[in-house]
Amino acid sequence: MKVNEILEYMLGWVSDEYDTDVGSFFYDLLYPVAVEAYAIQNKLDITAVNAFALTASGEYLDRKVAEQGITRKGATFAKGTVRITGNRGEVVSKGAKVAADSVLFAVDEAVTIPEAGYVDIAATSTTAGTAGNVKAGAINRFPVTLPGLTAVVNDAAFTGGYEAESDGDLLERYIEKVSRPNVSGNKYQYEAWAKEISGIGSVQVVPLWNGAGTVKVIITDAENQPASAGLVAAVQAHIDDNRPVGAKATVVSAASKTINISVTLECENKDTIAETITTMVKKYLAGMAFEKSYVSYAKIGGLILALDNVEDYTSLKVNNGTSNIALGDGVIPIIGTVVVT
């Protein structure tokens, strides 16, 4: 109810022998009450929505899932190595800043430039999340002049920066825990342990993979791409801290199957359509990690045909063939090349 509706309802209980028009005693008396009642109503609505995990959001969802011992995974910082060139004997201070566009990185330790005139140093993004995941060569300047240092570059990409867990992903973990018996070191518990680590996407658990007491945990990163060595190590350490005594867990990254596409299209903007197809198919492939045993040839054709400016296609080839692409256990599909003619 709106303020005026609440006010009208309360004034309706006043005897007709009294004036209730604007400016009257009862109007002025009850109007502030209506305003406060409206505010309380809104707070009660918010409380009702956030009392249940399925409709809660933000900090209210955090509190709800905490009842099951679940906490939201925080954002992480991308890490990598930079090569700094400078005068022999110059000291690169711990925390010295290097940059790629608007993203800053800080070196992890103090080092001295050796006789070779350059040094490779570990560095960490100062901004949490995916912004720090920059490509090789992206870090190429000092944001402020550092005496004696002349150049900086990252020969390899920086990785490991992940956004904080979304409400949707957090709710999914909550539902998995309350709806499945993840106890006594069963497969669901290993999956839950793996998903407690920031940066994890999908998980596949293979019990007894190498005999009694063994379990294999296969993981992807948050984008359902093969997991990095650092992510594998983090999950392995976390599971080792929680697994039952006597159990032997082995954590590995998912293997990948590259999906290459070639197609002849009747469409406009052929120069840019390949990038659109790449993005669209990559999303489709990411969504099927550990869920499907094959990549559908027909599905890829349907996705291409569904594009707004595509009239028709011919000569569609997926990995040089016209059939579904089988995926083995622990294998995820990743997009390769897309060639449009």
Please provide the distance, in angstroms rounded to a whole number, between the alpha carbons at the two ends of the chain: 60
pLDDT of residue 323: 96
pLDDT of residue 164: 95
pLDDT of residue 157: 96
Residues in Cβ contact with 60 at an 8 Å cutoff, skipping those fewer than 6 apart: 50
Residues in Cβ contact with 167 at an 8 Å cutoff, skipping those fewer than 6 apart: 57, 58, 61
C-alpha 217/C-alpha 205 separation (Å) is 5
Per-residue confidence in pLDDT tens, the chain, 341 aa:
999 999 999 999 999 999 999 999 999 999 999 999 999 999 999 999 999 999 999 999 999 999 999 999 999 999 999 999 999 999 999 999 999 998 999 999 999 999 999 999 999 999 999 999 999 999 999 999 999 999 999 999 999 999 999 999 999 999 999 998 777 789 999 999 999 999 999 999 999 999 999 999 999 999 999 999 999 999 999 999 999 999 999 999 999 999 999 999 998 777 789 999 999 999 999 999 999 999 999 999 999 999 988 999 999 999 999 999 999 999 999 999 999 99
Report whether 38 contacts 1 (CB < 8 A): yes
C-alpha angle with apex 54: 49 to 55, nearest 5 degrees?
Answer: 25
Residue 334 identity (one-letter amino acid): I
Task: Give 134's DSSP letter.
Answer: P
Report whether 55 contacts 49 (CB < 8 A): yes
pLDDT of residue 332: 97
C-alpha 295/C-alpha 120 separation (Å) is 42
Please give the C-alpha separations between residue 187 and each of 11, 19, 64, 168, 191, in angstroms, as whole numbers.
63, 72, 25, 23, 6
C-alpha 68/C-alpha 194 separation (Å) is 16
Report helix, strand or coil for 11. helix
Query: Shortest CA distance to 202 belongs to which of 334, 78, 304, 55?
Result: 334
State if pTM tops 0.75. Answer: yes
Compute the CA torsion angle 168, 131, 124, 120 (nearest 10 deg).
Answer: 140
